Amino acid sequence: MTETNDWWRGSVTYQIYPRSFMDASGDGVGDLRGIIDRLDHVGSLGVDAIWLSPVFPSPMADMGYDVSDYKGIDPVFGTMKDFDEMIEKAHSLGLKVIIDQVLSHASDQHPYFEESRSSRDNPKADWFVWADPKPDGTPPNNWLAIFGGSSWEWDSRRKQYYMHNFLSEQPDWNFHNPEVQDYMLDNMRFWLDRGVDGFRLDTVNFYFHDQILRDNAANPLPWAQEAVRPFEMQYTLFSKNRPENIGFLERMRALLDEYDGRTMVGEVGDSHHAIDLMGEYTSGKRLHMAYSFEMLGPDYSPRHFRERIEAFFKGAPEGWPCWAFSNHDVRRHVTRWQDHAKDSEALAKQAAALLLAFEGSICIYQGEELGQLDTKMEFHELTDPEAINFWPEAHGRDGCRTPMTWDKDAPNGGFSVANKTWLPVKQPQLDRAVSTQGEDSVLAFYKEMLALRSATPDLKVGKISFLDLPDPILGFERGDKTVCLYNLSPETQTLDLGLTLNPLISRGTRAKGTSLVFEANGFIITQRA
């Protein structure tokens, strides 16, 4: 494989959530022309690629993750001409373009689902997952939907249940039908021919289900029975993670290999096997990269990071991970980990220095480069069905999806001239707008750290080797001579390494004799002298 084709290895991707990036039309919702207008900001960071959350036609029951047309652009975001111009602008800035592919499920308004539900013998009858009720009329098994309730919805036309892992408006495709697989590959080819550089595959381990519909068992993990979502109380052995998935991943990889320099990164969501599946799915001719929610939770400890990274490379020495601390589905990490810091700005910089030093590829989420916080939402402001269904115990996803703030003093932070934006812009987010980011800001640090990663082969592609250090210090080596050390706590810590060091970047760290003194959330990336 040429170096050009291998660009994704060690790359950094910037996730754009189109509804909230920039509104050029003035309707309060972000759009493709807004992305075009603000792409220079992304280009200035020093990242390699952008990932766009879905912009396809959709009823927006789940904000675009319920697709009704896989080969179109929803009018709320613009036109196909806008999309083509966005690709051209991104490429002119040296940015690759990765787009979401929501293949496991569709919208219930997709024309093929409307045909499928019309009868049991139409040409698309077997394109979705249908099952007869039990004799007492209840669903065929105990599978649960992530957003609450059974994963089975009754349809009076077919007098059968259809399966949905998410909302009832998101019926699952039947990937056991080869025609469904062919249809999805054709959709992907459409976008490859249009010039996209790859795909982020939503819920990549959900494609196949157990065909004999065996019940899931109870989740044996100790926290499960206290979970807010009943879905997490099940060990989802049969409703996802099926072995047949591998064959389809290989078919997708064969498609991408027909093109130069294309890549796939899969989202693996699972409470038991996420790291194992990441390795399995990226070994051989399958996905190029995979990420999970293992680093998108509350744990901010040396043991957690070390265990997850070591487990991945032990299980899949030829695989390739993509690590992230935030995305559009979880609370922003500066809010999530605030108990581990005295100062949110110091935490934001340390998290950047940590994530961007990991072995693998990296994804950062829009606003992360500003040290942005999760927005505190009131119930009447919510749009997220997960938050609405599980209020008030669940935070939901709206808090991390509020609009980007470009100019603190402009209406809606410069995101939109509309009287009302689709989610509110609040003062804590305005206080971290791009316009407020000075010489020693979080934004300035991201640019510095991204430049260091790009210029330092050890940090981009060097192997990682962890150091045995006392908690709360996390330390590892990258490649031949780069050493990375972090105090993951709000208290001052001292460490005697007995090494002569040549610092590359640091914050809150000073030498004292042969020791290093780390202030709260202090860190240093250095090379052996």
- The residues that are catalytic are 202, 258
CA distances from 332 to 329, 336, 445, 513 (A): 9, 6, 18, 38
Count the Cβ atoms, other than its own, within 10 Å of residue 129.
27
* CB burial of residue 253 (10 Å; 0-12, 13-18, 19+): middle
The answer to whether the beta carbons of residues 487 and 467 sit under 8 Å apart is no
The answer to whether the beta carbons of residues 149 and 164 sit under 8 Å apart is no
The amino acid occupying position 48 is D
The answer to whether the beta carbons of residues 311 and 329 sit under 8 Å apart is no
The answer to whether the beta carbons of residues 398 and 50 sit under 8 Å apart is no
Helix H, strand E, coil C: the string for 396-444 is: CCHHHCCCCCCCCCCHHHHCCCCCCCCCCCCHHHHCCCHHHCCCCCHHH
CA distances from 210 to 94, 111, 376, 468 (A): 43, 25, 40, 43
Cβ within 8 Å of residue 349, ≥6 positions away: 371, 442, 445, 507, 521
Ranges of H-type helices in 152-273: 178-193, 245-256
Cβ within 8 Å of residue 36, ≥6 positions away: 24, 82, 85, 86, 89
Task: Fill in the DSSP letter of residue 167.
Answer: -
* Beta strands in 191-236, from DSSP E residues, in sequence order: 198-201, 217-218, 234-235
CA distance 345 to 88: 35
**What secondary structure does DSSP assign to 489-509, as a single string?**
SSS-EEEE----EEEEEEEEE
CA distance 390 to 456: 45
